[in-house]
A and B are shown apart, each in its own frame.
Chain A
Amino acid sequence: DTGVSQDPRHKITKRGQNVTFRCDPISEHNRLYWYRQTLGQGPEFLTYFQNEAQLEKSRLLSDRFSAERPKGSFSTLEIQRTEQGDSAMYLCASSPTGASNSGYTFGSGTRLTVV
Chain B
Amino acid sequence: AQSVTQPDIHITVSEGASLELRCNYSYGATPYLFWYVQSPGQGLQLLLKYFSGDTLVQGIKGFEAEFKRSQSSFNLRKPSVHWSDAAEYFCAVAGGNQGGKLIFGQGTELSVKP
Q: Which residues of A contact B (CB under 8 A)?
A: 4, 31, 33, 35, 40-45, 48, 56, 91, 93, 95, 97-100, 103-109, 111
Q: In the bound complex, what is the Cα–Cα distance between A108 and B44 (angstroms)?
A: 7
Interface string of B71-112 (1 = CB under 8 A from A): 000000000000000000010101001111111111100000
Q: In the bound complex, what is the Cα–Cα distance between A48 and B103 (angstroms)?
A: 13
Total residues of chain B contacting the partner, CB 8 A: 26
Find out whether the CB atom of B44 lies under 8 angstroms from the CB atom of A100.
no
A-B pair number, CB within 8 angstroms: 66
Find out whether the CB atom of B43 lies under 8 angstroms from the CB atom of A107.
yes
Find out whether the CB atom of A97 lies under 8 angstroms from the CB atom of B98.
yes
Find out whether the CB atom of B90 lies under 8 angstroms from the CB atom of A42.
yes
> In the complex, what's the smallest C-beta–C-beta distance from A8 to chain B, in angstroms?
14
Q: Contacts A99-B100, A103-B46 given; 12 further ones with Cβ under 8 A? A: A40-B106, A42-B4, A42-B90, A43-B104, A98-B99, A99-B32, A99-B98, A100-B32, A100-B99, A103-B49, A104-B99, A106-B44
Q: Can you list 9 residue pairs at the A/B interface with Cβ under 8 Å?
A: A31-B99, A42-B106, A42-B107, A45-B103, A56-B100, A93-B102, A97-B99, A98-B98, A108-B43
> In the complex, what's the smallest C-beta–C-beta distance from A99 to chain B, in angstroms?
3
Find out whether the CB atom of B101 lies under 8 angstroms from the CB atom of A56.
yes
Find out whether the CB atom of A91 lies under 8 angstroms from the CB atom of B44.
yes
Find out whether the CB atom of A104 lies under 8 angstroms from the CB atom of B43.
no
- Does chain A have a CB within 8 A of B51? yes
Beta-carbon contacts under 8 Å, B27-76 to A: 32, 34, 36, 41-46, 49, 51
The residues of A that contact B51 with a CB separation of less than 8 Å are 100
Contact of A33 among B32, B45, B49, B102 (CB under 8 A): B102
If A103-B34, A107-B43, A108-B43 touch, whether A48 touches B104 (CB-CB below 8 Å) is no
